[in-house]
Amino acid sequence: MAINDDYLSCKSYEGHEADPKNDGFALFQDKGKYYFTYQGNAGAVLLRSEGYADAASRSKGITSVKKNLGSADKLAVVEEGGKFYIILKAANSKEVGRSCDFKTKAAAEKGLARFTAGAEKPAVKVVKAEKPVKKAPAAEKAADAAPKAEKPAKKKETAAKEKAEKPAPREKKKAAEPAILKGLQNFLEVHEYLDRPRIWDSYGITGYVKFQAQDGKHYFGVYNPDATLYLRSEGFATEEERDSVFDLMDSIILLEENYKIENLKGRYYAVLFEEEDIVAISPDFSSFIEAFVTTPGGRPREVQGTMF
């Protein structure tokens, strides 16, 4: 197994140009070695490569990732130095990629299911259509005459079929996604999340804060690079509850499919969610687009790597 020292820090893999030849990958060089990062469709670093001696060896590494990423038995969660990583192994059991670190095993396992989101799909098998059997001239004439004679009956049959296939109004309503943000009673005012001591990790200072408010509940917040508030959590009765949701937030914060924009009393909020549960919400905005451009789906790709 490779050790974590064989990899650069996660920050070193962010913000590189996408490889036009390999969907979901980005390439770069550092101190004479060749690296790649696998981002899938998420736009965030999902897997990091070790340093390769040349570009050809790196290309083989990319091929191995693409070949093995869709196999669940090639992915695993490992612990090193009190932190957890998702690793990908090739058929020869050699490690060919590793995620950034997770603070808990639960958060790493939660992220494990997302690693095949951008994997290559198998080619769709094309079935060649059979050529229609050519009818005899007499049969063709009879076939041409038959539709004319049956036209009224066919018209009624088509109308009945269309009526039967028309979806019921209830099905249309069922397709609409219900709002999950019902109110703000469990959240503090925006200013109460600001000017808090930030969390430090092995890479330096982060844009995250954790604190206990005057109401005795435990909260977390996420700052933008300019120290304004990006996301805020609701209050939790215990630190353990807060930290569990914090770890979930940390694993999905750059996944655009985990955001939705919701309107509450004429104000718009970016909501980070998992299934039907709210993980964190943004400050309020006056329009849908103002809220949307703060999310990973609304930010330019080059900006996403510098968030938080």
pLDDT at 164 over 60: no
Written as six digits, the tokens of 119 are 């994997």
Q: What CATH number should be reported for the domain whose range is 190-304?
A: 2.30.29.80
Least-confidence region, from 26-30, 77-81, 127-131: 127-131
- Best-predicted range by mean pLDDT (49-53, 89-93, 164-168, 269-273): 269-273
Phi, psi of 124 (to 5 degrees): -80, 130
- What pLDDT is recorded for position 94? 85
- What pLDDT is recorded for position 189? 96
Give the other-Cβ count within 10 Å of 87's Cβ: 18
**Every domain range in the chain assigned CATH 2.30.29.80:** 4-112, 190-304
pTM (2 decimals)? 0.46
Give the other-Cβ count within 10 Å of 117's Cβ: 14
Written as six digits, the tokens of 283 are 């400050």
Written as six digits, the tokens of 234 are 């609701």
Distance CA 54, CA 252 (A): 33
pLDDT at 40 over 80: no
Residue 105's pLDDT band (cuts 50, 70, 90) = confident
Phi, psi of 149 (to 5 degrees): -70, -30
Over residues 64-94, the pLDDT tens digits come to 888 888 787 888 899 888 888 899 888 778 8
Least-confidence region, from 129-133, 152-156, 177-181, 254-258: 129-133
Section 226-231 average pLDDT? 93
Least-confidence region, from 96-105, 145-154, 215-224, 252-261: 145-154
CA distances 193 to 62, 164, 188, 202, 228, Å, are: 42, 55, 7, 23, 10
CA 246 to chain centroid: 17
Q: If you search the block for the tokens 């090639």, which residue do you land on?
A: 74
User: Do residues 306 and 288 lie in contact, with contact meaning Cβ atoms separated by under 8 Å?
Assistant: no
Q: What CATH number should be reported for the domain whose range is 4-112?
A: 2.30.29.80
Distance CA 206, CA 200 (A): 6
When the pLDDT of each residue in the chain is averaged and rounded to a whole number, the result is: 78
Distance CA 43, CA 243 (A): 25
